[in-house]
Amino acid sequence: MKEPYLSFLHEALRFIPQERIYTDELRCLAWGTDAGFYRLVPQIVVRSDSEYEVSELLRLADRLKLPVTFRAAGTSLSGQSISDSILIVAGKHWEQYSISPDGNQITLQPGIVGQRVNELLAPYGRKFAPDPASVKSAMVGGIVMNNASGMNCGTHANSDRVMLSARIILADGTVLDTGDPISRAGFEVTHRDFIRGICHLRDRIHANPKLLERIRYKYAIKNVTGLNLLPFVCFDDPFDIIAHLMVGSEGTLAFLSQVTMRTEYDYPYKASAMVYFTDIREACRAVVAMKKLTDSKEEWIVKGAELLDYKSLSSVDDPIYIKYKGEVTDPSGLTAVLTETKARTPEELKARIATIEQTLSAFRTYIPVHFTDNPAEYGKYWAIRSGIFPSVGGTRRPGTTCLIEDVAFHIEDLPEATADLQALIARHGYDDACIYGHALEGNYHFILNQSFSTQAEVDRYEALMEDVKTLVVDKYDGSLKAEHGTGRNMAPYVRYEWGDEAYEVMKSVKQLFDPKGLLNPGVIFNDDPKCHLKHFKPLPMITDDKGHASLSKINRCIECGFCEVNCLSCGFTLSSRQRIVIQRELARLRQEGNDPARLALLEKQYHYLGNQTCAGDGLCSMSCPMSINTGDLTHLVRQRLLPPDSLGYKAGNYASRHFAGIKGALRPVLTLADTAHVILGTAAMSKLTHGMHTLLGIPQWSPAMPKAFKPEQPQPSNEKGDCEAVVYFPSCINQTMGLARKSPVEQALVNKMVALLHKAGYRVIFPKDMEKLCCGTIWESKGMMDIADRKTHELEEALWEASEQGRYPVLCDQSPCLHRMRETIHRMKLYEPAEFIYTFLRSRLVFKPVDRPVALHITCSMRKMGLADTLIALARLCSTQVFVPEEVGCCGFAGDRGFTHPELNAYALRKLRPQIEERNIQIGYSNSRTCEIGLTTNSGIPYVSIAYLVDECTTAKDKKEEQSL
């Protein structure tokens, strides 16, 4: 690192902890990569957490004349937030909010995710107005600063229209709150020339009728090309203009630390229809007709109309597309329009549906129009629409880059402009490209799978963009960028679209806010006409010599970041997306073989940041449109580190073949730890074991650590003859670990489960040689896949015999174990406790719910098996006050990772304890013993199996009553 970056780093460390400033090769690369198709690697990455820090950083950068770029997360797909200088991240530490009593206003920091905002507003019957398709992962800062919009908000409810005030930090470090009279007054004194400059630009525009009309016309449709000029037309107050200039500015003017926005009424009744046409022009003509539909209150009847061309439908295996493709020679005309309407009452909804159907009856549709008001049904439609970008990107050829751009046309031009755009893309040879998007607003995205490996491919892309410019600007006078910000890809065309007068106003705004040109340079304003043809991001294939099927799915990743909301280590070490970024770079270095020193460095840095702190839980796959599981990648990485001749593999193999003995040896260790706890006390024991963990790497002890346990032979059930039977396989964890010293329950889980089953009249069968059996999860998590599969096969054979070849259901008391069993064992019916109890025992027991609050933790495996609702429903049979903590996903214990890397467990559960304490909850329930240890440690209350709650709240149903039923 060269001066002046060393000076910046040295001074920044005075007010920011070292653990939030990254200069290492790996994290600079990981954070320097986003979903776009460009890449720059920053010199320094700073994870900021306060206005003070950002203000001081900007003062420092200003003095040293160092460029700065800001990053949250918000649909930056064209090089909006990459840097080869200093990158300031505003994410996990920027999640504060406040809501007005009536819910009509909300004040937000930039790091809170859009979907979370909607969850917060739901009790008020309100929602966040901007609605990009990526709202489940995009953060407020990114949404506002890119003016990202979506399916319903159009131009009437985007960030610019609903913003009330903004709190910003200027390039010189000054903090301005445009909604605070005191801040405004102070700013007028310290930045008098700045205010005068804003007023001068406002008056200059109003004195130019031609320019004034040009601005109004351009913003009649979605437009984020260049800086936002609309505030000069809509507002007189310079502070209102300053606030609204932030929208779509992409970090080129200032840092947005807080924004206050109007919320939007959330219609309680909704319906959607996927309407299919066999001609794209006909589809667009139908959209134009629907755009005109209003009711007596002059409200638009159609709230959203999303066009999906045949390539979009193909990418998601749409069944209607598959049907149509089998009927015709050329399916390229098939186009779907996902149409949505909303209402205040069921009657109003019905009337609006009838109006839309009547309008559509004038157009040729492939199948009859069918609206559904069933959220489960229309939710699938919108999930498909939201996942189009990564899904299409997943179909790209190996080694190509997925890129996306978005344009807008005035609605009257839509049918011809859409057909022209489709033909233009095809003319340039992009056979796998697709067009989709917000047709109701004349706004389309087009996705290209592009190679930049040869000059010919670069030239082809350049020629395409030149023709797009000509089509959109010259022929239809539309927007080259409709949403998501200008980015590096459209920076060369800003002046071309707007003309000299408007462009010079934009340049003057930039000069006022950022006179040294240090904020996000190269974005929006770039003097290089070829800037969009440089700094392309490589996407090499991750390969190995074993042909793992999971790698083919991982290689489809386009690094969109949808996974990150479910990645527990995101913001701690690396996210799931960033792990793929680094593994791709490692693959490239291995394939090229010309930089062994960098390869060795990245592998060393990845060991803790990427490998050791990945829980491998796979929740990332649940928010990925292509269901990519980065945990699978982590298992393969670990497998590579443990070849069959390694000491670690041999130890694992030995343990698998002597498993009963290993468990037998673990019990005295647990007893020793418990004895030491009694003698030393909790405080001394914690201090001693923490030191041993830090210095020697010994697994971390906590007061939640259980005592040893060994199950006895089960007592026979009282029921004979035709009594129902179940094969019960206690996980090896529950065969070994009993209760913690201060546990609120009295029986180890195995005994409690047997008692509960007997209460319900079940005969319990244990598999033979139970001490030797394991589902294989332990070895899978370490990357010893072949050993894991061998252990699973042993278990399967034992369960097959015990269940009399599948005659009886099989119950396992640990949800992670049951998840692996279900993934690998298919000839028996397998159940975890909540599902078994809810399915089979509910009718045999009398539930008497307790009137006390209980916390419920839904494990990753429960979520992946689709059993979260079952667990919640069961808990609600037992308690009148069931609480599922918000923003708590995977607990991060991950088998033994909570012992070996307790910091991961603590980070994952950082939001748990405050919620528990606020509600005065005294006990929590789950269905994974190891997770419960981590939950107990980090929540301040004991967590135990849901079976204990069920047993407490039930009695056996009277036999006569049961027979009568």
In this predicted structure, which of 280-289, 480-489, 504-513, 590-599 has the lowest mean pLDDT?
Answer: 480-489
Structural domains of the chain, ranges and CATH numbers in brackets: 1-265+513-520 (3.30.465.10), 269-450 (3.40.462.40), 551-641 (no CATH), 687-841 (no CATH), 844-956 (3.40.50)
The pLDDT assigned to 718 comes to 42
Asked whether the beta carbons of 487 and 405 are under 8 A apart, the reply is no
pLDDT digits (tens, 9 = 90+) for 258-317: 999 999 999 999 999 999 999 999 999 999 999 999 988 889 999 999 999 999 999 888
Q: Would you call 732 exposed, middle or buried from its count of C-beta atoms within 10 A (0-12, 13-18, 19+)?
A: buried
CA-nearest of 298, 294, 484, 461 to 389 is 484
Asked whether the beta carbons of 170 and 113 are under 8 A apart, the reply is no
What 3-state class would DSSP assign to 33? coil
Using CA atoms, how far apart are residues 567 and 620, in angstroms rounded to an integer? Answer: 6
Q: How many CA atoms lie within 13 A of 147 on its CB side?
A: 32
Helices (H), 491-575: 494-498, 500-513, 549-554
Asked whether the beta carbons of 408 and 442 are under 8 A apart, the reply is yes
Asked whether the beta carbons of 336 and 308 are under 8 A apart, the reply is yes
- To the nearest whole number, what is the mean pLDDT of the chain? 93
Using CA atoms, how far apart are residues 764 and 716, in angstroms rounded to an integer? Answer: 7
Asked whether the beta carbons of 293 and 302 are under 8 A apart, the reply is yes
Q: What is the DSSP string of 46-70?
A: EE--SHHHHHHHHHHHHHHT--EEE
CA torsion sign, 765 to 771 to 773 to 778? positive
The pLDDT assigned to 560 comes to 86
Structure tokens at 959: 């036999």
Q: What is the mean pLDDT of residues 443-457?
A: 90
Confidence of residue 134 (pLDDT cuts 50, 70, 90): confident
Structure tokens at 799: 């369960």
The pLDDT assigned to 626 comes to 84
Asked whether the beta carbons of 506 and 498 are under 8 A apart, the reply is yes
**What residues are paired with 811 via a beta bridge?**
728, 831
Where b means 16+ CB within 10 Å and e means fewer, 506-539 reads bbbbbebbbeeebbbbbbbbbeeeebbbebbbeb
Using CA atoms, how far apart are residues 616 and 614, in angstroms rounded to an integer? Answer: 5
Asked whether the beta carbons of 895 and 780 are under 8 A apart, the reply is no
Q: What is the mean pLDDT of residues 107-130?
A: 96
pLDDT digits (tens, 9 = 90+) for 174-207: 999 999 999 999 999 999 999 999 999 999 999 9
The pLDDT assigned to 182 comes to 98
Q: Taking the model in full, what pTM does it have? A: 0.92
Using CA atoms, how far apart are residues 544 and 540, in angstroms rounded to an integer? Answer: 13
The answer for residues whose C-beta is within 8 angstroms of residue 639's C-beta and 6 or more apart is 783, 784, 785
The pLDDT assigned to 723 comes to 77
pLDDT digits (tens, 9 = 90+) for 60-92: 999 999 999 999 876 578 889 999 999 999 988
30, pLDDT greater than 90: yes
Using CA atoms, how far apart are residues 710 and 708, in angstroms rounded to an integer? Answer: 7
Percent of the chain with pLDDT over 70: 97
Helix (H), strand (E) at residue 605: helix 596-606
Asked whether the beta carbons of 295 and 137 are under 8 A apart, the reply is no
Using CA atoms, how far apart are residues 512 and 507, in angstroms rounded to an integer? Answer: 9
* 443 phi, psi to nearest 5 deg: -110, 120
Percent of the chain with pLDDT over 90: 84
Q: What is the mean pLDDT of residues 771-778?
A: 94
pLDDT digits (tens, 9 = 90+) for 711-753: 886 544 444 455 799 999 999 999 999 999 889 999 999 999 9
